[in-house]
Amino acid sequence: MKFKFSRLPTNPTPAFPNQRSYLMPLIPVRLCRKGNSGRYFDFKAVLDSGAHVSIFPAQFGEIIDLKIKNDRIQPIYGIGGQSIETYLHEVIIEIGGWPFEAIVCFTYN
């Protein structure tokens, strides 16, 4: 699969005083509730092929009728050892017309 980079606006910075936009590898994604309730949410996301887990805002899961807070809590640690609380859910993700099942994390942080 190949996707075009998206050009996004930005404000100039001291390091890049002439920069007005930048390119991001945003890809179209469809998120569906497993069991196909008919609810789905289309959005663009940054794909990190080296990531161990996918993390989405909790609001994305709420759109497809997931009850986000559950007993499958998974802390995710970032730079400096800080953690965010996430909740694991089984969903269907569709990329480039190809659906697949995945366990993803949703967070309110």
List 42's β-bridge partners, or say none.
30
Total domains in the chain come to: 1
Position 1 in a domain: no
Position 23 in a domain: yes
Position 29 in a domain: yes
pLDDT higher at 38 or 20: 20
Determine the pLDDT at residue 70.
94
Query: CATH number for the domain including 101?
Result: 2.40.70.10
- Non-local CB neighbours of 66 within 8 Å, separated by 6+ positions: 33, 89, 91, 106
Determine the pLDDT at residue 68.
96
pLDDT higher at 52 or 32: 32
Residue with tokens 């969903």: 91
Give the tens place of pLDDT for each residue, 66-81: 999 999 999 998 888 8
Position 48 in a domain: yes
Position 68 in a domain: yes
Full residue range of the structural domain in which residue 46 is found: 6-107
Residue with tokens 């953690």: 83
Determine the pLDDT at residue 105.
96
Position 63 in a domain: yes
| Phi and psi torsions of 12, nearest 5° | -60, 150
Task: Please tell me the pTM assigned to this model.
Answer: 0.82
Residue 4: half-sphere exposure toward Cβ, Cα within 13 Å: 3
| E strands in 47-97 | 55-57, 73-77, 83-95
Determine the pLDDT at residue 36.
65
